[in-house]
Amino acid sequence: MVERAPFPARPDSVRPADLLGPYDGKVVDADSERPIAGALVAASWAFERGIGVIGPLAAEELVTQTGPDGRYSIPRLGRLPTGLSTRVRRFTVIIYRHGYVGWRSDRRFPGRQVRRDFSQQGNLVRLERWQAGYAHALHLLFLGGSARVREVAAWEAQQAGLDLEAESTERAGQAGGAVAGVLGGGVGGVGMSGRLPVALLDITPLLTDDEIRGVTGYVGTFDDGKLADLPTTEFYDSRHFKAKDRPENYDVGLRVWRLGPAAAEVQYQKLQRDLPRSSSTDEIGDASFRARAGQIEGLVFLVRERGVVVSLTCGTNQCTDPAQVLTIGKLVESRLSDLAAPSVPTPTPLSDPLDETLPDRLKDAE
């Protein structure tokens, strides 16, 4: 049996889709309408069985990517499980691209409203850019997906953990402690919205042009900005001291993650694992290592008490002596206390899906 699809065959049609497929569509940037290439597209079919009471039987997944024109294509499902009560119950598409809000064919983020603009063919997906106030915890809970989706969204896990830590701390405070409230009365105000009122991390006070010049003896000037690889969030910020009219090996980069003690430990280990030619030096902070890529020297250190990881990179024409990198690092370390205190998210109730119109299937059933 194949269930009736809850979405149309085409955007301009009311004819129900064929759950088995095929499916196709195009992924674009919601602001610029430009195609997004390389977005992960994870499609899955869920099969169920049972008489009266029904439960999962099997699933089929197909993962692909959008092409240079932003298009994706998912072939018709060929294999079906057998069984007298077996049915094709659901089809779901999840689309993910770093820097954007994840897209699901059934729900929207952050409000979790039912999505009504998905179609089997000619589907147009407008990916919205990630906004600093969104909560990664809610985003990952919303996103779902298989191991492939989790893999590309893994970078959000640390910040998601922090979202929940702040939420739990808030609630534990209300309940009188993590376990003391267990036998107490009910505690209200649980759940979070997708967007949290947060202050972005700002590492501007940690290092200046003059301080770099004072250490390295460089006489040129810098164009100050941010490194482009990750957006600034409440947990992360960067500075790019770009040497004017000079190649990259004169530049200085500074990245700071303020994650809390546990997650900072994880981030530090991840960097140590991922950065090229890393070797432990333990010369600064509670732990540190050096790394090197071409003409860029890197120093990464962890300050456990503050839950901070600092990554400092310096071109070898700017920092001609490795000791200069350490000196700049110690300057940064001495200023960490100048960072503004982290904001504590305030939990707000999730929207009630019943605010939406009741589905006919539920409302009109007898």
Within 303-342, the residues that bind other proteins by CB under 8 A are 304
Query: Residues 1-40: x/- map of binding to other proteins (CB under 8 A)?
Result: x----x----------------------------------
CB of 343 to other proteins, least distance (A): 19
Our CA dihedral for 60, 65, 66, 67, rounded to 10 degrees, sits at -130
| 219 touches other proteins (CB under 8 A) | no
- Integer CA distances (angstroms), 69 to 97, 99, 104, 281, in order: 15, 19, 20, 46
| 123 touches other proteins (CB under 8 A) | no
| 131 touches other proteins (CB under 8 A) | no
Asked if 153 and 40 touch (Cβ cutoff 8 Å), the reply is no
CA proximity to 302, closest of 316, 312, 293: 312
Q: Give the interface segment with other proteins, choosing from 197-205, 215-223, 293-301, 352-360 (CB under 8 A).
A: 352-360
Name the DSSP class of 300: E
| 57 touches other proteins (CB under 8 A) | yes
Q: State which of positions 81-120 bind other proteins (CB under 8 A).
A: 83-85, 87, 89-90, 92, 94, 104, 106-107, 112, 114
Asked if 286 and 265 touch (Cβ cutoff 8 Å), the reply is no
| 65 touches other proteins (CB under 8 A) | no
Q: State which of positions 156-175 bind other proteins (CB under 8 A).
A: 157-158, 160-161, 164-165, 167-169, 171-172
CB of 96 to other proteins, least distance (A): 12
CB of 316 to other proteins, least distance (A): 25
Which of 190, 323 has the CB closer to other proteins? 190
The helix/strand/coil state of 183 is: coil
Q: State which of positions 227-266 bind other proteins (CB under 8 A).
A: 262-263, 265-266
Structure-block tokens of residue 91: 């089809």
Structure-block tokens of residue 249: 């090996």
Q: Which residues of 105-122 are buried (b: 16+ CB within 10 A; e: fewer)?
A: bbbbbbbbeeeeebbbbe
Of 99, 155, 180, 276, which one interacts with other proteins (CB under 8 A)?
A: 180
Name the DSSP class of 29: E
